[in-house]
Structure 1
């Protein structure tokens, strides 16, 4: 298959209602299918929401009661991997024979993780990636992923992997993705700054891969009255302005960046552009210097408690 239609969905969450968000995402899966897309990428933390501007009542050395209430609401909005939201997306991906990369807040016991889910058509949920390093105050509300969820996924049209938001500034993680032969490097994010697109172009050039980045477009009014916001309470305030884009293996922008509102960006990926790009630069191949540099990746799951049972 030489050419593949790919897409990114620049949409907002329905904060505090992950089922409604999943249903909205399913409608975009159907929309992308009408455009011929085989791969669709959604923003970081779309299911469960990205609480832009919130501090969760946590000054240094104390936690305020209202912060605990805010976390309770956020915890309730997160998803379980056996929940209805996953069923909605699994059904939509199967109906339209699409590979879907979905950002979510995953609930596991008492901890929340910023996670990407992989859905592959009839095979359903085929994998996930938990964000390794939450940024700044995200560490207050999200746990840390380990090396066991960094595997790319093989599909009928190419290899897909996801790196979340500022994980993209971790060179070793990028190198691990390139070494897996990622053709479609997906970057769900909450970063809507002007500096984000140049970073995505750099990654496309570095990995000689297609980069698909998706960010929400969402206003203050969509969060509701209970959301604490350092950006104020004017319902028209744009909390995240998008900037989603699709970039080719030589850094050319095929679609986006879009800052106008919710949208679906679609582009045609010429798979032959990947070997053409690697002719003069293959970062984990002929341009590597393993005699000087070596990356060791620990992909073991790290459980907090491991039971060693006595055999009878």
Structure 2
């Protein structure tokens, strides 16, 4: 049995130091509770600036918006910065495998990234969101196939698909083909309809789904940070809705809305094995004579110097 923890908590937006400290504390808490795997929400370090327009409209940018972006960029982390070793140390000290959403800064571009950290080997993967949704594309770059990473743990293979990447059928198929057993879905989608997506993924992939969303309020943002579009739930910007579902589609924990919480569940990998009696989307239920998928995992760089 594997004990999993899904952490539904607010980021400390634009403050990587404070958010990392909070993550360390939460890793210690779930470690003390015996968790083998902990899943944090999307953009837990760096922040998800819900309702923020960054002063951008078609053909127009404002100086205020550029200042907002500068603060957002300053709160992002680099993979070779000080925050990742701190997370590695926390994972190692408490014996927890960690999946955590961060805003990654590489050069002059920000990425929405899910880090996978092993207590034995440290940073095992960094998946950059392939397709930022809507106006996320204003502030986040696009990942490429080279970051479709997984993490091997003593209890099985862990992978991460971020938020609306879960609406990309070929993305899901690629992760099933990679042998993911513990399918982590850091998200900012707090709608009730998200639960149907997570249940579908669990049944389609015959995977354990662990979806983590923030419970974020207006008070969690700096007082001077503008909200340009009124959130549907007033001062509650993200309601949570975190959930754990097994490969048969049984909800093991959650969903929980409108509060900070940690969901726990015992995951029995034999449930996955039994579920494959009648369905394997990349095996005996596939039809490679009719359908095929090619995944390009080469890094895509804007500039390549050759001699």
Assess if the C-alpha contact under 8 Å between 1:104 and 1:117 holds in 2: yes
- Equivalent position of 2:179 in the other structure: 181
Count of residues paired in the alignment: 306
- Equivalent position of 2:5 in the other structure: 7
C-alpha distance in 2 between matches for 1:196 and 1:249: 17
Q: CA deviation at 1:232?
A: 4.8
Q: CA deviation at 1:159?
A: 0.4
Q: After superposition, what is the alpha-carbon deviation per residue over 1:54-96, rounded to whole angstroms, capped at 9, x for unaligned?
A: 0000110111111100100000000111222212211100001
Q: Scaled by the length of structure 2, what TM-score is found?
A: 0.97
Q: Equivalent residue of 1:293, what SS?
A: coil
Assess if the C-alpha contact under 8 Å between 1:117 and 1:129 holds in 2: yes
Q: CA deviation at 1:102?
A: 0.7
- Equivalent position of 1:103 in the other structure: 101
C-alpha distance in 1 between matches for 2:230 and 2:186: 25
Instruction: List 4+ stretches of structure 1 deviating above 2 A.
Output: 230-233
Q: After superposition, what is the alpha-carbon deviation per residue over 1:290-310, rounded to whole angstroms, capped at 9, x for unaligned?
A: 00000000000001111111x
C-alpha distance in 2 between matches for 1:80 and 1:151: 18
Assess if the C-alpha contact under 8 Å between 1:221 and 1:236 holds in 2: no
User: Gaps (5+ residues) in structure 2?
Assistant: none
- Please provide the CA RMSD for this pair: 1.3
Q: After superposition, what is the alpha-carbon deviation per residue over 1:114-147, rounded to whole angstroms, capped at 9, x for unaligned?
A: 0001110031111110000000000000000000
Alignment of 1:1-312 (within 5 A): 3-232=1-230, 237-309=235-307
Q: CA deviation at 1:289?
A: 0.3
Please identify, of 145-154 and 211-220, the stretch whose mean Cα deviation from structure 2 is larger: 145-154
Assess if the C-alpha contact under 8 Å between 2:52 and 2:229 holds in 1: no
Q: CA deviation at 1:236?
A: 7.4
Assess if the C-alpha contact under 8 Å between 2:129 and 2:162 holds in 1: yes
C-alpha distance in 1 between matches for 2:200 and 2:94: 32
